Structure 1
């Protein structure tokens, strides 16, 4: 997992001043609020031009999946598969795929540079060029639909003691004559960038994998691991948002091809071992045994409105 001096730790400092028992809760609550406000005001952390900074909650789950079949599903309080320690829900809106992640990471990059909570302006042409896409009419339509999906998808991501809920981008405007967009990134999304809770993706490597969504998902997922765990093939199938009806045997074949693409793009050593576990080794680092990180929170799908706990 990448760390960076400009990450946004949200410390809760203990005061040396004696606080009456009756006032401790109120004082700590004010401290938390103040540190949250400072983190939000600081905006997104900085990262190099050749990287893309993303919250681990979006990468260690099936929030941005790979199944075209799942893409056609409109979620209502859908619990997304994730590793233990995360809780990820799509509370309303379309399910998202890897191409949505391509668009969202560029929106976040613009939010880093231009500021969250402010007008972020760009043309369809410039945006498409920046993510390595063609700039024809169909590509402009593709971008429009991807932005609509990101604005329509309301998520709830809990990582540790912080929960973000809201759309992945706020709404915006589009000039039909010039193709110029104005969007906004919710400043509160900065709370997902606490220390150790975000990762810098290698942009050039991800670009090499653009036409291989499973390889892209694997690249993003394993980029959050400094020394990756071994995960069962079945665990990876659940985590990446693959079609639930896909037989494990067929998924394993697709996975082997994706690992070949991943290895070529990153120089990581990637394979499936005799225990049917995915092995990804970076710069000769040894893997940790199967265990803690092999636990997956299974997704649940409800088409009913959740009860009002009001």
Structure 2
């Protein structure tokens, strides 16, 4: 009330952008105080950030067809953008990444995942001979050498390599990889659980593996998409869409046989309909 008994004038509301800034600052402060930890999942599953299986980050290509990319914008599902520098990764590289994250379940940011080359190779279903040890070292170095930037609405979500830092004792075959805060934040935004036995049964079938990961990231079912969309999403190097469509018709029954899906069909508009199990 004023001295003369009148109603006190209302305070002018703060500008909308000032309120947004205050909210963003509050969110940032809470995020800075939070200690991130890699989630837990069952031994029968593998966890991977949604962005990795909803993009062409791990394309369905043979290792000998991988190219070196410089700040290449990879095809990705609408809502985020991935810029990549390094030698193209493959589905086999994804096996290694998933295996390391699997061993790191429950580890907090700044902690380390320790493993032997022999143990990791067995975990991902590979042979354990000398050539496979060399192969694994090459993959670990490739995952470290990549530069990946993920953005949403022009805001950085992740920027760095997939395995930022590690150590190795080549005599004992022991490795140690650090789990950085940024990677665990990426998992905290949302991750996909891959049924490992299903994926492993699709070994040496990169298109089926890439499709399987994308399918697993949608619940209950993926929206119908065009054959061209899946061609771009899987990073296929099959140039002729007619040939890719034939490859797709071969890969989907393979996924059906794993029990991951109940049915699939391609309609007259060239859209792929998939029903998850």
TM tier, smaller: 0.7 to 0.9
**Residue matched to 1:58:** 52
CA distance in 2, matches of 1:72, 1:282: 31
> What is aligned with 2:7?
none
Relative contact order, higher structure (CA 8 A, sep 6+)? 1
Paired residue total: 262
Cα deviation 1:37-72 (Å, max 9, x = unaligned): 245x13222222211121111111000001237853
Where does 1:38-57 land on structure 2 (aligned, <5 Å)? 38-39=33-34, 41-57=35-51
Find the residue that maps to 2:218 and give its secondary structure.
Answer: coil
- RMSD, matched Cα: 2.3
CA contact (8 A) 2:117 2:136 kept: yes
Unaligned 5+ segments in structure 2 are: 1-12
- 1:199 counterpart = 2:192: yes
Q: Highest Rg: 1 or 2?
A: 2
| Contact 2:36-2:181 at 8 Å conserved across structures | no
* Aligned partner (choices 14, 22, 26) of residue 31 of structure 1: 26
Q: How far does the alpha carbon of each residue in 1:131-188 deviate from its partner, in whole angstroms, 9 at most, with x for none?
A: 1111011111111111111101110112466611100011212212111111112221
| Distance in 2 of aligned mates of 1:252 and 1:278 | 10
1:207–1:235 CA distance, 2 compared to 1 (3 A): same
How far did 1:32 drift?
A: 2.2
Task: Return the alpha-carbon distance in structure 1 between the equivalents of residues 65 and 185 of structure 2.
Answer: 27
1:116 aligns with 2:109: yes
Separation in 2, partners of 1:282, 1:168: 29
Structure 1: 5+ residue stretches without partners: 1-18, 284-310
Partner residue in 1 for 2:10: none
Provide the C-alpha distance between the structure 1 equivalents of 2:188 and 2:108, rounded to a whole number of angstroms. Answer: 17
SS at match of 2:42: coil
Is 2:62 aligned against 1:68?
A: yes
Q: Which residue does 1:102 correspond to in 2?
A: 95
